[in-house]
Structure 1
Amino acid sequence: MPTGKVRFFDADKGFGFIAEDSGADVFLHANALPEGVTTLKKGARVEFGIVEGRKGAQALSVKLLDPVASVAANMSARERRTPEELVVIIEDVVQLLDGVGEGYRAGRRPDRKLAANVARALRGLADELEK
């Protein structure tokens, strides 16, 4: 079975793309996700089957091989993340901040839950960078 990394996945729209190890992009529909999984993070390693759909290669029976750790995940104070892990975390935080910035541009403040999540993500990233 081929393997690759999740290039992006939009849970709201129900689809995304996998960058196959061979370099090809493969369409990923939410129906192909493992039972109980509703989203995948960018950079997660997956194994999958492929079928030719109307618009090209489409992933089937996706199996999560190596999930991407969350910024908020609890780690010991001595453990450091690899540069590859930090790249994904930083990209996620930038996307989160872009969304908050767009809200402010439109004259809206983030709700309390989103504000708390952003603050927690920034604190977690700051702690990682100081290790």
Structure 2
Amino acid sequence: MEEQLKLENQTCFPLYALSREITNAYRPLLEEIDLTYPQYLVLLVLWENKTVTVNQLGEKLYLDSGTLTPLLKRLQGKGLIDRTRSKRDERVVEISLTAAGEQLEQQALKIPEKLAESLRLSIDELTKLREITCTILQKI
């Protein structure tokens, strides 16, 4: 067998497995505030930006509108976001936080620290991992 075809020599496999493990580590932390991981990602963007369009959200999260629409409907159903048509262009849907969505940010503040503890990594190690991963994403 060729060396490059061995599972242990694949770059993508440990990244895939690590992504799944980290997402699984988030699960109990997010259950405490009744969110899924994709919902948490949407709220992270909104806590930072307050209002974004569906297209902007898709670009930031690497998700298409077909994936985002049901996710946003669930967040709206929970009373955490509002979806409104832009007054300038009705084709554009703007997403913003409700008061409940803004308040949830305070409950979420400890999640990154708790995640680092559950992964048994230092903040520096997590920062390095994020930087390397972001560098790769920017190149592709």
Same fold flag (TM > 0.5) = no
TM-score (norm 2): 0.25
Q: Between Structure 1 and Structure 2, which shows a larger proportion of strand residues?
A: 1
